[in-house]
Structure 1
């Protein structure tokens, strides 16, 4: 019996080729592709805020309200008045933002892709991104953006394009997940669609790899071998509780 299937080796080989071509500059994002009814949904690369609404004026007003409510009512906990700093914290606590999560860790991406994976119902995927080439294509500069200053002045620029940014690592979750972000511009489309309007060929910038049902056991084994679980991804009491609840016996 083969421990690692040929299909999983092929997947790793394709990732390695992308990484070599990108000179190691690679980000990952895992999609479980599970809808509310448990069936397959092929999600676009849209931030949560833009996934929920399709009116830019309404999105901007809602975003403003979210940030200032989080700032004022949560100040005794987060102690921050910096809008960018708050944005990263809000993202990791589930508040809708225009940030889209990425990671420099393949294991982290596979963890999120395989959550609630039912091989009979849904096909997860991982996205591969070269952030430098993305920025070169969309904003004309291949460096990661370190955004500072007034957040609302920044995002209200006319024709603001999406971009890969360099976040401040202000939480244990962000550190544990080796998180990175793209910031969605004032574009009511997913990142792939936005990129397609700028460059004709973009597989060397952004590409999707499906996780077929026949590599389910390989992915689970890979995560186990790399010591990845709910607590390593969410290094807090919530993550520990998830691990404990999955125990089937005192011997697990």
Structure 2
């Protein structure tokens, strides 16, 4: 086995711990891995110049297509539909997070034949919700009083400015496998790190640490099939098993 140099990796872990301290050292931390320093915490919908103006049409079109089909949304509520939109790559106000640090590392190092420095975002979701005026824990949000269309389209019972952290029901296998969590942007369309800098920190994962990161993922059993537990995850997992380069 090729010898792994762990120095850069342990330095990265120390920086993650320091980042958690800067946002209050909360009991619950959420993580997001990105492959480029150019990625900011802005959801796909708001990256389009006309994204917000097309939000309703995107939702209704997806709802029309998905109801009664193999999408399995016959009994779904508005939030389930939105989570499925995110799952299938339709632009939404949502940003994906995970409670599992290793999942973020996986996405930060995904498909990197010639890797550049990646980054891990570390979020204090409770503090973020406190800034948004929500005192309850994220997974206790009441769907009847906090409906997606009412809140984000009509501003009833309030119109959020600060992004809100949501702990969804795991409505599909990938969301469950990735211990998926979401933040949902409101009126302020700037990047989350600009809106709430005291709630989130970004830590660089240097490319020199990637060999150790891959070994960490191997030891933790985090691979394509674990993160994408369906046919889509099988092919890259098999390629890695047989050693294709």
* TM-score tier after normalising by the smaller chain length: 0.7 to 0.9
2:133 to 126, 139, 147: 139
2:88 to 79, 84, 93: 93
Post-superposition Cα deviations, 1:62-90, rounded to whole Å, max 9, x if no partner, equal: 22112222211122222245211111111
Please state if 1:160 is matched with 2:145. no
Equivalences for residues 44-193 of structure 1 within 5 A: 44-53=40-49, 58-75=50-67, 76-77=69-70, 78=72, 79-117=74-112, 122-139=116-133, 141=135, 143-144=137-138, 146=141, 148-149=143-144, 150-156=147-153, 157=155, 158=159, 160-193=161-194
Q: Which stretch has the larger CA shift, 218-227 or 8-17?
A: 8-17
Post-superposition Cα deviations, 1:111-141, rounded to whole Å, max 9, x if no partner, equal: 1000133556x21100001101111233363
- 2 CA distance for matches of 1:147 and 1:96? 24
What secondary structure, in the 3-state scheme, does the structure 1 residue paired with 2:42 have? coil
What secondary structure, in the 3-state scheme, does the structure 2 residue paired with 1:217 have? helix
Please state if 1:22 is matched with 2:25. yes
- 1 CA distance for matches of 2:177 and 2:58? 25
- 1 CA distance for matches of 2:180 and 2:19? 19
CA pair 248-3 structure 1, distance change in 2 beyond 3 A: closer
User: How many corresponding residue pairs?
Assistant: 232
Q: CA RMSD in A?
A: 2.5
- 2 CA distance for matches of 1:101 and 1:7? 26
Post-superposition Cα deviations, 1:153-194, rounded to whole Å, max 9, x if no partner, equal: 111324532111121111110110011000111212100111
- 2 CA distance for matches of 1:241 and 1:184? 34
What secondary structure, in the 3-state scheme, does the structure 1 residue paired with 2:209 have? helix
Tell me the CA shift for residue 93 of structure 1: 1.3
The TM-score normalised by the length of structure 1 is 0.82
What secondary structure, in the 3-state scheme, does the structure 1 residue paired with 2:132 have? helix
Tell me the CA shift for residue 23 of structure 1: 3.7
Tell me the CA shift for residue 61 of structure 1: 3.8
Q: Is this contact kept in 1: 2:132–2:164, CA < 8 A?
A: yes
Tell me the CA shift for residue 147 of structure 1: 5.2
Which segments of 5 or more consecutive residues in structure 1 lack a partner in the other structure? 34-40, 197-201
The TM-score normalised by the length of structure 2 is 0.84
- 2 CA distance for matches of 1:159 and 1:24? 25
Equivalences for residues 159-238 of structure 1 within 5 A: 160-196=161-197, 202=198, 205-238=199-232
Q: Is this contact kept in 2: 1:166–1:180, CA < 8 A?
A: yes
Post-superposition Cα deviations, 1:8-40, rounded to whole Å, max 9, x if no partner, equal: 11222333455575242100000011xxxxxxx
CA pair 249-216 structure 1, distance change in 2 beyond 3 A: closer
